[in-house]
Structures are given as C-alpha cells and as structure tokens.
Amino acid sequence: MESISDIISKGVKPGVRRLFDMKDVIYDRKWLSKAENSELYYMYRELSLSKKDAAAMKEHGLRYDITVIPPQMLGNEFVKTAGHYHPLVPGTQITYPEIYEVLGGEATYILQKPDNEGINDVILVKAGAGDKVIIPPGYGHLTINASNKVLKMANWVARDFESIYQPIKEKGGGAYFILDKGMVKNPRYEHVPEIKPGKPANLKEIGLQKSKEMYGLVRDLKTLEFLTKPHEYAWVFEEVLGE
C-alpha cells in the first residue's frame, strides 16, 4: 500500500528554498559572502493520496505538506528553515497553530514567542522519527537539521493563511543560532531569555501517537480541529507548554 511519504518520489515538484532566499537569516556572514546559491531544502505542498482525501482536507480547511532537509553546514551553522510566524485566526486574537511529524532523520525545533522588539519565551524541542511537535498559538518557529541524516518531516496546518517571514528576516534570524560549537543568542533582539527544553506532543487524546503516521488522521479530520479553531482547544496548548 502506498504511503503518503512515498508520493514525493513520483514526480511531484517541490518548492525549493535556496541559500540566497535566506541570506538575511544566515549567521556566518563571512562564509555567505563566498558561497554559491545552493539548494537547501524542498517543500511539497498540499499532498494527498486520493481525490477523496484532497476534498476532505479542503472541506475542513486543512493542508498536509512534507519538507525534506538534507544535512549540510551553512558555514559554522547547521542547515535550517527560514523561520516564520502565523497570522491571527479571523475574529480572534489567537494565531494559528501547526503540527509537525518527523518521518525520518532528526529535527530540532525552536519555538519563540515575541514581545515587542524582544522575545519572552524560547523552547527547544528535539524530535526523532514518529514524534509529533505542536507549534502553539503565539509562537514563531524554525527547524534545524543538526544531524548527518536527511530530515523528512510532515505538517498539518490551516490552508487559508500565508506564513509571515518578515519579522524573523528583519532580525537576521531566530532568537538562537545552532552552530557546530553550540547555541548562541541573536543579539539583534532586545531581549532573549534562556532557552527551555520542550518535548514532543505525542497526545493520544487527539490521535497523535508515535507509532502512527499522522496522515492517517485524514480519516477523522475533526481530530485536527484545534488547528483551525485553537480558541476552543486551550487544553491542548496548555498540555504542550506544560501549563
């Protein structure tokens, strides 16, 4: 039986994030000045195994994507995504959440909560194959592949919004950079707190089990309603944040 993670090898064309697309958020400026515009990672959007699944996703306002990040160094920094925030859910003061699953390799997620020109909370979550990671409302995020393995990850997210890249771009990156010699704070933020360890959100109550690929939730998309109506699911995010 075909798996959702298999279809990206069957002619589906990805969006490609290249180095120069991310020139504003790279830590090692000396390396960047001499680097070529190489491909960094690949984004496969709006995937589905059938027309029936695709229709169900649209009906519930959801989208399923896969991102593939091969291992490499950006000078002395591990390869990463550009980083972004999410917009507000219409009619609320709550931003959309998102959920990731590591399909292969290892991922490091940095979640950061902005406060004017600074950051008032930073969480680092390390995840391996099968782990699920929820990005709560109010947090921006970026993903780092700090391993020597290809990172393949999936995400479910509300389909009707555009990610907001500009705030992180203007600050030259996320609150922390993960380098070959450790983590360093981004000095362009007025305030960055010490980073807190987080953990994957393998919550059986909403169908998130390490042993099951979350694409299977397409058969019960009501389970993912917390992605489109986060204001009705505060308990999910309290669980994620340990509150």
- In the structure encoding, which two tokens stand for residue 243, read together? 């509150």
How much of the chain, in percent, has pLDDT values that exceed 90?
A: 85
Distance CA 193, CA 102 (A): 27
DSSP 106-131: -EEEEEEEEETTEEEEEEEEEE-TT-
Query: What local confidence, expressed as pLDDT, does residue 126 receive?
Result: 97
Distance CA 95, CA 139 (A): 8
Amino acid at 71: P
Residues 25-76 have pLDDT tens digits of: 999 999 999 999 999 999 999 999 999 999 999 999 999 999 999 999 999 9
| pLDDT for residue 6 is more than 80 | no
| pLDDT for residue 145 is more than 90 | yes
pLDDT tier, 80 (very low <50, low <70, confident <90, very high otherwise): very high
Amino acid at 216: G
Query: What local confidence, expressed as pLDDT, does residue 2 receive?
Result: 58
CA 92 to each of CA 88, 120, 228: distance values in angstroms, whole numbers, following the listed order: 7, 21, 12
Buried b (16+ CB within 10 A) or exposed e, 158-184: bbebeeebeebbebbbbbbbbbeeeee
| pLDDT for residue 5 is more than 90 | no
| pLDDT for residue 204 is more than 90 | no
Average pLDDT over residues 12-30: 96
* 38-42, 89-93, 115-119, 193-197: range with lowest mean pLDDT: 115-119
| pLDDT for residue 1 is more than 60 | no
User: Are 168 and 174 a contacting pair, CB within 8 Å?
Assistant: yes
In this prediction the pTM is 0.94
Query: What local confidence, expressed as pLDDT, does residue 202 receive?
Result: 78
Number of residues assigned to the chain: 243
Query: What local confidence, expressed as pLDDT, does residue 66 receive?
Result: 96
Query: What local confidence, expressed as pLDDT, does residue 44 receive?
Result: 94
Distance CA 88, CA 94 (A): 5
Average pLDDT over residues 135-152: 97
Distance CA 120, CA 25 (A): 20
User: Are 71 and 79 a contacting pair, CB within 8 Å?
Assistant: yes
Domain residue limits, the chain: 6-241
Class of domain 6-241 as given by CATH: mainly beta
| pLDDT for residue 220 is more than 60 | yes
Query: What local confidence, expressed as pLDDT, does residue 205 receive?
Result: 82
| pLDDT for residue 104 is more than 80 | yes
Which SS3 state, helix, strand or coil, does residue 165 take?
Answer: coil
Query: What local confidence, expressed as pLDDT, does residue 151 receive?
Result: 97
Residues 150-173 have pLDDT tens digits of: 999 999 999 988 999 999 999 999
Q: Chain-wide mean pLDDT for the chain?
A: 94
Question: What's the chain's Rg over C-alpha atoms?
Answer: 17
